[in-house]
Structure 1
Amino acid sequence: MLDSVLKAYGFPPDTSVTPHGSGLINHTWFLKTQKGKFILQRINQQIFPAPDLIAQNIEMVGSYLLTHYPDAVFPRPVSTRTGDTLVDAGPDGYFRLYPFIEDSVTVDIADTPARAFEAARQFGLFTRMLSGFPAGNLHETLPDFHDLPLRYTAFRRSLQNGNPDRIRKAGQLIGFLESHNHIVTEYSQLLADPGFKRRVTHHDTKISNVLFDDQGKGICVIDLDTMMPGYFISDVGDMLRTYLSPVSEEEKDLTLIQVREPWFQAIVEGYLGEMKDQLTPTEKNAFVYAGSFMMYMQALRFLTDYLYEDVYYGSRYKDHNYNRALNQAALLGQYLEKAPQLKNIVRKVIAQPPARLSSRNAPLE
């Protein structure tokens, strides 16, 4: 399968190729060649049907950063022998190649507040550097990806058209989500506020999309397939959703779910250390809302898929997406209970001088 791809880059067919990483969307390999080390990816066209739009986004942003922030670490795709950044391998799909950044590592879990701080700082830095880039020039690689009213409408429709047995089973969870539809209303109100800015947004801020050095410091963000116009609550919300609890969305024991305030403060400090002067008062006031926005939307998406018999996410066992939805609802419930304390943390961090925000040097222990 990879022979034609290797040939396009001028690599011999006996090049060392090994699977790499833990990503669930694209297939990834590590290449060791006489020309150096590289990361090869096959783009999942079931998720991203237009790989050329992704390539154009990355090229536009890469050129902007090279001009305005020449020292920024921004891995750009390697060109083929014909000067292309994508290889069309026919039925095998589209491939791209990145240089491997030496002494870099990725992690799957925000195991310490310091790690969460570094990741949040990198995502904040990424958005800040692109504050002068016209976000509207980017292609929407996943249209309506974080459109909460659309997701809520799909959820409501699934209550009419979904599996009746599953609807009955999920009755209590459905009631919980419907009782919190004020989160949808608040989103619509934010979009109508001129102080809520459209920005270049990563849209997939799990910690595995940050490269770290061997001292635990962030190097740069990676995986820009979902980079498109959006709102800061998508990036901050996804960090809060995936970093705050010690267990992932796959955990079935809901008693293990926690909202850890030290991790929350680390995310606030890391992100605002880069973005405090960029965010408007409206956006700063919505920082805590960002978490409930993403937790609620993900619970809706998991439950909607469950009611439609797992046609989008699929399932590895019976009631998989139902359990995921329960997990996110439990996280949301705890988060909303702690919202007053969390808002107080944001207020205190906003009041800190910039030097204080960038001075977290806690060891990764």
Structure 2
Amino acid sequence: MELNLDSEVLEAYGYTKENTKITQIGTGLINRTYLLSPSIEEKKYILQNINTSVFKSPQAIANNLRAIADYLSITSPDYLFIKPVSTAKGEEMAHIKNEHWRMLPFVPDTISLDVLADPKQAYEAAKQFGKLSRLLNKFDAKTLEPTIPGFHDLNLRYEQFIQALNRAEEQLKEDAKTEIEDALAHQYILDYYVSYLHRDDFPDRVMHHDTKISNVLLDSGTNEGICVIDLDTIMPGKFISDLGDMMRTYLCAFSENETDLNKVKIRLPYFEAMIKGYLSQMKDILTETEKELILFSGKYMIYMQALRFLSDFLSGNEYYPTSYPTQNLDRVKNQFKLLHEIAVNEKELQDIIEENLV
């Protein structure tokens, strides 16, 4: 889809509507994303409008990316870290009519996937997310600002679920009776998480926090991992955020929108590939406690996402886009089925982890 942007946005970066082809791209639900192809140079760029209803402090994103880019330029100068291009005035973002825009270099000969089609892709993606964490192992995560406070705080998500439950209309509670019972029955996942939360060997690290397959660039010819993208949610967190999100989104051939629960199965080859890729980078960095929590990371993220979908359903579908009234409830059922599949396959999954920790 080709379209025009406000000319002031282009002018902030030294371009005009006359010398720039603009195409809207991407499937993300948060930021609007465009491909810029200036006729006056060979390079292409990604231009994004930052959604300030989600990211309340765009400057925090800019500060985090600058700090990490400066660190990696010294410690790992050959690593491809996609940092924003400065405006014509030397600023990290353009502020146009109360909107925030940033430009990023376009990486040629790469692809980003919406769906995994081969275990090699899972391996390469997990390797790239692990590599970024490894390269930032000695970076002081406490110096980064949370760009979405409480984003992966399971305590907070459980509290929000209880609040939504207490406020919900009786009919919604009746419709979600089984799922509410499931959410309460799985509270032990929260208790287990809290029991580890303040251990010294469960440290805060620099985490990406959104490790779906579309946030990795792969070589368009070989599918080899090139780099990690969509860095808005880089902030302090626990390693279980990144690895758990990979488990939640890589292990099943179908997304959380699948309503045929018989299709919600774990693909063991993808799990093995993901674990191999991640541990190829992180095995020597993870603490003993973190190694104990590798499989738990999947339970943690799946349960948290189930709580978020359920909270939204009970609140009248205020947050997640839906195409029919019970879609969030169907997503909850999907996530609890995936959680069940991890439990059913736990021994085999843990055996794969142990083999790759040797």
**TM-score of Structure 1 vs Structure 2, range by shorter chain:** over 0.9
The DSSP-based 3-state class of the residue aligned with 2:111 is: coil
Task: State the shift of 1:110 in Å.
Answer: 1.7
Residue of structure 2 in register with 1:354 after alignment: none
- TM-score for both structures, normalised by structure 2: 0.96
Q: Does 1:199 align with 2:199?
A: no
What whole-Å deviation, never above 9, does each CA across 1:165-195 have from its counterpart, x for those lacking one? 0111111111112111110001001112221
Find the counterpart in structure 2 of residue 7 from structure 1.
11
* 1:119 corresponding residue in structure 2: 125
The answer to whether residue 227 in structure 2 is matched with residue 256 in structure 1 is no
C-alpha separation in 2, matches of 1:320 and 1:2: 35
Residue of structure 2 equivalent to 1:219: 226
Match of 2:318 among 311, 336, 352: 311
- How many residue pairs get aligned? The number is 350
The gaps in structure 2 that reach 5 residues or longer are none
Return the alpha-carbon distance in structure 1 between the equivalents of residues 27 and 161 of structure 2. 30
The one of 148, 152, 157 aligned to 2:158: 152
Equivalent residue letter for 1:9: Y
How far 1:315 sits from its partner (Å)?
2.0
**How many angstroms apart in 1 are the aligned matches of 2:114 and 2:317?**
25
Structure 2 residue aligned with 1:324 = 331
Task: Letter of the 1:348 partner, please give it.
Answer: E
- Quote the sequence identity (%): 43
> Letter of the aligned partner of 1:198 in structure 2?
D
Structure 1: distance between partners of 2:347 and 2:97: 54
SS at 2:45 equivalent: strand
Paired position in structure 1 for 2:53: 46
Report the alpha carbon displacement of residue 96 of structure 1 after superposing the two structures with TM. Answer: 0.5
Matched position secondary structure for 2:77:
coil
Q: Which residue of structure 2 aligns with residue 363 of structure 1? A: none
Of 252-261 and 288-297, deviating more is 252-261
Q: Which amino acid aligns with 2:329?
A: Y
Q: Structure 1 residue 209 and structure 2 residue 206: aligned?
A: no
Query: Letter of the aligned partner of 2:119 in structure 1?
Result: P
- Cα RMSD, aligned residues only: 0.9
Any runs of at least 4 consecutive aligned residues in structure 1 with deviations exceeding 6 A, and if so which? none
- 2-side partners of 1:119 and 1:79: how far apart? 28
C-alpha distance in structure 2 between counterparts of 1:204 and 1:54, whole Å: 14
How far apart, CA to CA, are the structure 1 residues paired with 2:146 and 2:281? 25
> Aligned partners of 1:89, 1:190: CA distance in 2, in Å?
45
2:104 to 80, 83, 98: 98
Partner of 2:37: 32
**Aligned residue type for 2:113:** V
Note the 1:233-244 alignment, pairs <5 A: 233-244=240-251
Amino acid of the structure 1 residue aligned with 2:12 = A
Matches of 2:242 and 2:111, distance apart in 1: 21
Q: CA deviation at 1:300?
A: 0.4
**3-state SS of the aligned residue for 1:152?**
helix
Instruction: Give 1:321's aligned amino acid.
Output: N
Letter matched to residue 175 of structure 1: E
Distance in 1 of aligned mates of 2:27 and 2:70: 29
The reply to whether residue 277 of structure 1 matches residue 284 of structure 2 is yes
Structure 1 CA distance for aligned equivalents of residues 33 and 159 of structure 2: 35
Aligned residue number for residue 189 of structure 1: 195
Could you tell me how far apart the structure 1 residues matched to 2:243 and 2:132 are?
Answer: 13
Rounded to whole Å, the distance in 2 between the matches of 1:134 and 1:331 is 35
Q: What is the aligned counterpart of 2:26 among 21, 44, 51?
A: 21
Give the residue type in structure 1 aligned to 2:177: G
What one-letter code is carried by the residue in structure 2 that aligns with 1:137? T
